[in-house]
Copies of this chain bind each other. A is one copy, B any other.
Amino acid sequence: MGETRFDVLGVGNAVVDIIAETGDDFLESRGLAKGSMRLVGEDEATRLHGGMGPAIEVSGGSAANAVAGLAALGGRGCFVGKVRDDALGATFAHDIRAQGVTFATPPAASGPLTARSMVLVTPDAQRTMSTFLGAAAGLGVDDLDRAAVASSKVVYLEGYLWDAPEGPALFAAAAEAAAAAGREVAMTLSDPFCVDRHRADFLAFIRAHVDLVFANETEAMSLYETGDFAAAAGAMAEDVALAALTRGEKGSVIVSGGERRTVEAAAADVVDTTGAGDLYAAGFLHGYTQGAGLGRAARIGGLCAAEVIGHLGARPRADLRALVAKNLG
C-alpha cells in the first residue's frame, strides 16, 4: 500500500459557527427543534442572526472539526471543503491551517458567501443549529484531490455533504479513489434529520463502500427506523465491518461483526455539546490510524469529546496530546 501523506483526509462542509447562548423561549418563538441542524437560506440566516444575542465566531464544520482534532492530537490531517474568498472564508482557512491541517481547496471567487451556522446553545448545553450552506454547497467532484485520497489511511466523509448538489458524486469519487489505493472509507451519519433525508442512499453507500461508520444512537436508530438501540447495532453489524456508536454520557459501543464493546464516557463539565461527535471521531481515528486497539481508540475519542463539550465551540482548545498522555498514558 506504500507510504501515506495523511492519516485522515476529511471531506465536508467548510462552515464558520456563530454561537450564542440563549433560553428555551427563543427556540420556541422561532419554532426550532432543540438539538437539530436545519438548513436555511441566506435571508432566513440573516433574520435569525438579527434576533440572536451577542455571539462568538469559531470555525466549525463536522469533518473539519474532526480533522482539526486529529491534528491537535499529532495526526496528519487533510481537509477538502469550499469557502468563498470573503472574510469568513479567510477565518476558516486560517484556523484549520493554523491547527496544522493541509487545506488546499481553492476558494470560490464568486457565488454565495462562506457557509455559516447559527448555533444556539441553551442552558442544558444542547445546541440547535441553523446552517446557511452558501459556498460550501459548491464543493464539486473536481475539488477532490484523488492523489491525496490515495495517500491517506482513511478518507472521512460527513453525511451532511449529501445535501450539496455534487455531494453524492463526491462520495462515490472519494470511495472509488480510496478503494483503488487500498485505503479505508469512514462516514459519519451527521444528524438524524440528515439520515431521514437520505436514508436509502446512505444505506446503499454504506453497504457498498464504507469500512467504518460513526453515528450517535439517535442517528443509528433513525437509519434503521427502529426505537431499539440494540436492534440498530445489530443491523449495523450486518452492513459495515466496524461502527463506533456514541451514546452521550453512556459512553460508546464499538460494533465489529458479532462483537460489542462498550467504553465508558470520560468525565465532563458540559457547557456546549457542539462538536462532541466530531471530536469523538477525531480521537477514535487518531488511535485507529496509529494502530491502537479499538478500546483505546474509543477511549481517546471519549476524552476528546469531553474536552470539546467543556467550552463553547466545536474545535479543541486544550492540548489534546497532553490530555491523552495524562489520562490514558
Residue pair B54, A59 in contact (C-beta under 8 Å)? yes
A99 at the interface (CB under 8 A from B): yes
Chain B residues closer than 8 Å to A86, beta-carbon distance: 87
Within 8 A of B (CB), among A304-321: 311, 313, 315, 317
If A49-B94, A87-B86 touch, whether A57 touches B54 (CB-CB below 8 Å) is no
A106 at the interface (CB under 8 A from B): no
Number of interface residues of A (CB under 8 A): 26
A98 at the interface (CB under 8 A from B): yes
Chain B residues closer than 8 Å to A68, beta-carbon distance: 54
A176 at the interface (CB under 8 A from B): no
Give the distance in Å from the alpha carbon of A78 to the alpha carbon of B317 in the complex: 34
| Nearest B residue (CB) for A53 | B98
If A54-B68, A87-B87 touch, whether A21 touches B317 (CB-CB below 8 Å) is yes
A126 at the interface (CB under 8 A from B): no
Residue pair B54, A56 in contact (C-beta under 8 Å)? no
Chain B residues closer than 8 Å to A317, beta-carbon distance: 21
Copies held by the complex: 2
A2 at the interface (CB under 8 A from B): no
Interface of A is mostly: mixed
Residue pair B55, A94 in contact (C-beta under 8 Å)? yes
Chain B residues closer than 8 Å to A20, beta-carbon distance: 98
> Of the candidates B52, B57, B311, B313, which one forms a contact with A98 in the assembled complex, judged by CB atoms under 8 Å apart?
B52
| Nearest B residue (CB) for A54 | B95
Chain B residues closer than 8 Å to A50, beta-carbon distance: 94
A88 at the interface (CB under 8 A from B): yes
A178 at the interface (CB under 8 A from B): no
A262 at the interface (CB under 8 A from B): no
If A87-B86, A87-B88, A88-B87 touch, whether A95 touches B55 (CB-CB below 8 Å) is yes
Give the distance in Å from the alpha carbon of A86 to the alpha carbon of B90 in the complex: 14
| Nearest B residue (CB) for A59 | B54
